[in-house]
Amino acid sequence: MELGAFSMSLAVQDLAVSRAFYEKLGFTVIGGEAEQNWLIMKNGPHVIGLFQGMFDRNVMTFNPGWDQDTGELDAFTDVRDLQKALKAQGVALASEADESGEGPASFMVIDPDGNPILVDQHR
């Protein structure tokens, strides 16, 4: 099962403070909107998202259709097909994509230890 690009979405208390901290670790902003309380940062192949007031906890995120540089992949498994495959294996979903739609969509599962995993397709 190919889930796409991986990143950690971090629930932060203060976007500016968190940005400054991660910049000290060598991360640079590659996307997002500070005015909307979110930024995407990268250090080599490592990607993190900083989200103030959007999530209750940190979330593992996969993006079907993207490579680790947020470049669009020509071929990828649609988020709705991934969702159907997981449901067929008996995986409970915390939120679901509309399987009759197309384009951007997402779903979320929770692992056995309570860690949220977001599969978020942007195209």
Separation between Cα atoms, residue 71 and residue 65, nearest integer Å: 8
Does the structure show a pLDDT above 90 at 69?
no
Residue 1: the pLDDT is 86
Residue 119: the pLDDT is 97
Does the structure show a pLDDT above 90 at 70?
no
Mean pLDDT of 27-49: 96
Q: Strand order in 5-12's β-sheet?
A: 28-33, 38-43, 46-52, 5-12, 59-63, 116-121, 105-110, 93-95
Predicted TM-score (pTM) of this structure = 0.87
Q: Residue 34, SS3? A: helix
Residue 82: the pLDDT is 97
Write the pLDDT tens digit of every residue in 74-120. Answer: 999 999 999 999 999 999 999 999 999 999 999 999 999 999 999 99
Write the pLDDT tens digit of every residue in 1-19. Answer: 899 999 999 999 999 999 9
Separation between Cα atoms, residue 116 and residue 43, nearest integer Å: 23
Count how many residues are written for the chain: 123
Domains of the chain: 5-121 (3.10.180.10)
108 CB-side CA count, 13 A: 14
H-assigned helices in 4-103: 15-24, 79-88
Write the pLDDT tens digit of every residue in 40-58. Answer: 999 999 999 999 999 999 9
